[in-house]
Structure 1
Amino acid sequence: MKRRSVSITFSIFLAVGLLLLGISLVIWYNTAKYNKTAVKTTGTVVDLLAKSDRTFSPVVTYDDANGVKHRYISSFSSKPAGYKIGETVAMYYDPKNPDSAEIAGWQQYFGSLITGGLGFIFSVLGLGYFVVRKISHSRHEQLKQSGFLMHADIVSVDINRSVSVNNRHPFFIRCEGKDSLTGNISNFKSGFIWSDPTPLIGQDKKIDVYVDRNNPRKYYVDISGFEER
């Protein structure tokens, strides 16, 4: 898998997230607009309608401005039931069509909340990928400019099976290098590589590692030669 394919995947996540957020705002706006033009009244829960999934929807009766009684069955159901028989609830109904009604409250915005929540998750995943990549790139460039270069020996190529994108797991390189001044051997691990880098490893099995001069725990394993773009 090329890194560009991974970028496309997260771009789709971001696009879907923004679309869902837009739909959420439209649903929220339409609900708020309906409430401004609708007539507010009170109704009484007269029954609890059992659904096939063992949840319950309230059945409410209410009177319009002309005293005509109407019956409303909520599309929202829950378990346990969110209302009790005989309970009084606030209602909104369309003055042009009194049979069209809704129970006032957060349930009116349930669709908007669900859509917005999904949109937020997709947007965070999509945007987060590009933000993290940008920050990592800046840090790596800084290390390449100010860190000291170590020619490390490649120990192994492993797969991170805890991460998956499009049913593919990323590879990473384990390597070790010896400090020419202290003689200490340090172990390093590269970032993700989305294609098997094994065929591209040279005969000397060396790889460049840039290490922070003040903090050896900060380093960058240069995998630019192994990344397919």
Structure 2
Amino acid sequence: MNHKVITLIKWLFLAIGAGMLVGAASLHSSAALPLSLLGLVFASTGGGIIGYGWWSTKKEALLRQHGHLIHADFQQVELNKALEVNGANPFRIVAQWHDAKNNQLFVFKSANLWFDPSNFVQGRKIPVYVDLSKPSRYHVDTSFLPKVHG
């Protein structure tokens, strides 16, 4: 789905929800409560999506700035079957890194990608920004992949 369409939808949800809440505040009837609840659902959905995007971007920026850059070994490209949009599943890059100092193996998965990156990752080292104090906080850098046009 086009990024511009998603942006439009989340802002529409927020605006429609806010409009319903304002409309409900001006009503003095039994319709005010259901309209308020519906407005709250719409506004919360739009606001939640916007908030999650902001949080995710901030987390990525902090990891890029303060995280430890490692180069993990490419393992595979997998389909994320937990998510389906219009009958299609996104792809994810899976990479692993062996911390020889502590003899620990870490597996990293990229964010969802809406094209198959297999031709661009075979035999590569995948850049990953990791918070070494909490390795479950990481960001797989996919900026080396081509941008999808269209």
Q: Report TM bin, short chain.
A: 0.7 to 0.9
| Separation in structure 2 between the aligned mates of residue 215 and residue 6 of structure 1, nearest angstrom | 31
TM value normalised by structure 2: 0.75
Deviation at 1:118, TM superposition (A): 3.2
Partner SS state of residue 142, structure 2: coil
From 98, 104, 120, give the equivalent of 1:200. 120
Query: Which residue of 1 is the match for residue 141 of structure 2?
Result: 222
> Which of residues 91, 116, 122 is equivalent to 1:171?
91
Q: CA 1:20 to 1:129, structure 2 compared with 1: closer, same or farther past 3 Å?
A: closer
Unaligned runs of 5+ in 1: 33-107
Q: Is the 8 A contact 2:13 2:45 kept in 1?
A: no
SS in 2 for 1:185: strand
Greater strand fraction, Structure 1 or Structure 2: 1
- Kept in 2: contact 1:191–1:221 (CA 8 A): yes
**In the superposition, relative to structure 1, how do residues 24 and 132 fare at CA in structure 2: closer, same or farther (>3 Å)?**
closer
Which structure 2 residues correspond to residues 56-135 of structure 1 after superposition, within 5 A? 108-110=29-31, 112-135=32-55
- Give the percent of matched residue pairs that are identical in Structure 1 and Structure 2: 29
Equivalent residue of 1:152, what SS? Answer: strand
Deviation at 1:27, TM superposition (A): 5.3
Query: Equivalents in 2 of 1:228, 1:157: separation in Å?
Result: 17
- Name which of 104, 107, 115 aligns with 1:187: 107
Structure with greater proportional helix content: 2
How many angstroms apart in 1 are the aligned matches of 2:39 and 2:148? Answer: 30
For structure 2, the 5+ residue unaligned runs are none
Q: Relative to 1, partners in 2 of residues 1:192 and 1:122: Cα closer, same or farther, differing over 3 Å? A: farther
- CA distance 1:198–1:130, change in 2 (3 Å): farther
3-state DSSP of counterpart to 2:30:
helix
Describe the shift of the 1:212–1:12 C-alpha distance in structure 2 as closer, same or farther (beyond 3 A).
same
- 2:12 is aligned to 15
Q: Say if 2:134 is the partner of 1:137.
A: no
Instruction: Answer whether contact 1:20 1:115 (CA < 8 A) is retained.
Output: no
Tell me, yes or no, if the aligned pair for 2:10 and 2:49 is still in contact at 8 Å.
no
How many residues align structurally? 148
Distance change (3 Å), C-alpha of 1:180 and 1:165:
same
Instruction: Using the TM superposition, give the Cα deviation of residue 209 of structure 1 relative to its aligned residue in structure 2, in angstroms.
Output: 1.0
TM-score w.r.t. length of structure 1: 0.53
1:135 Cα deviation after fit: 1.5
What is the aligned-residue RMSD (CA, Å)?
A: 2.8
CA–CA distance in 2 between the matches of 1:134 and 1:181? 35
Q: Which amino acid aligns with 2:79?
A: I
Question: Is the contact between residue 150 and residue 210 of structure 1 (CA under 8 Å) also seen in structure 2?
Answer: yes
How much does 1:7 deviate?
5.1
User: How far did residue 223 of structure 1 move?
Assistant: 2.1
Q: In the alignment, which of 20, 23, 26 is matched to residue 26 of structure 1?
A: 23
Tell whether 2:129 aligns with 1:213: no
Larger radius of gyration: 1
One-letter code of the match for 2:30? Y
